[in-house]
């Protein structure tokens, strides 16, 4: 987590200046090195304290990302349609991936039976008013 090497590389001249100090007093080098550690630690602290949106599509595993893209392109689609696209993947794994996408609110399941359809959240909301007006 600490990018101490990067900090040393950025301030390479200061680093070598403090290392090549001919006096036996290492206080200046210790102060320099501690300031690098404090800077690195504060950067890490700000990085981990920022809220992360873990439900975004960019944090998905590649197969789940591809699954989401297929659902977005062919929405709504059945489990059988998706399973034919992923023949090498066991059905239970595919169901788990779909459940994971549902929990992250990226897709929605339309229906509860085996014939349920999957749709993306973005596309399902605008299509509801169109189907009501027909």
Q: What is the pTM of this model?
A: 0.49
Cβ-contact 70, 77 below 8 angstroms: yes
CATH architecture of 57-124: Orthogonal Bundle (1.10)
CA quadruple 45, 49, 54, 57: dihedral sign: negative
For the chain, give every domain's residue range: 4-49, 57-124
What is the DSSP secondary structure assignment for residue 11, as one 8-state letter?
T
| pLDDT confidence of residue 9 | 86
12-19 and 27-49 helices cross at what angle (nearest 10)?
150
pLDDT tens figures, 52-111:
555 566 677 888 888 888 888 887 888 899 999 888 989 899 899 898 888 888 888 888
- Whether 11 shows a pLDDT value over 60: the answer reads yes
Among 67, 53, 51, 52, which Cα is nearest to 100's?
A: 67
DSSP collapsed to 3 states, 31-83: HHHHHHHHHHHHHHHHHHHCCCCCCCHHHCCHHHHHHHHHHHHCCCEEHHHHH
Q: Residue 31's pLDDT band (boundaries 50, 70, 90)?
A: very high
* Residue, of 129 and 40, whose pLDDT is higher: 40
């Amino acid at each position: 987590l600490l990018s101490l090497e990067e900090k040393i590389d950025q301030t390479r001249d200061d680093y070598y200046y403090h290392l090549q100090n001919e006096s036996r007093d290492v206080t200046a080098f210790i102060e320099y090195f501690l300031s690098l550690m404090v800077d690195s630690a504060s950067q890490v602290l700000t990085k981990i304290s920022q809220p992360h949106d873990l439900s975004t599509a960019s944090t998905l595993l590649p197969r789940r990302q591809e699954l989401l893209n297929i659902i977005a392109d062919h929405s709504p689609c059945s489990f059988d349609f998706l399973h034919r696209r992923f023949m090498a993947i066991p059905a239970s794994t595919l169901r788990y991936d779909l459940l994971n996408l549902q929990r992250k609110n990226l897709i929605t399941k339309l229906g509860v039976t085996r014939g349920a359809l999957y749709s993306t959240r973005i596309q399902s909301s605008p299509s509801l008013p169109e189907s009501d007006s027909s």
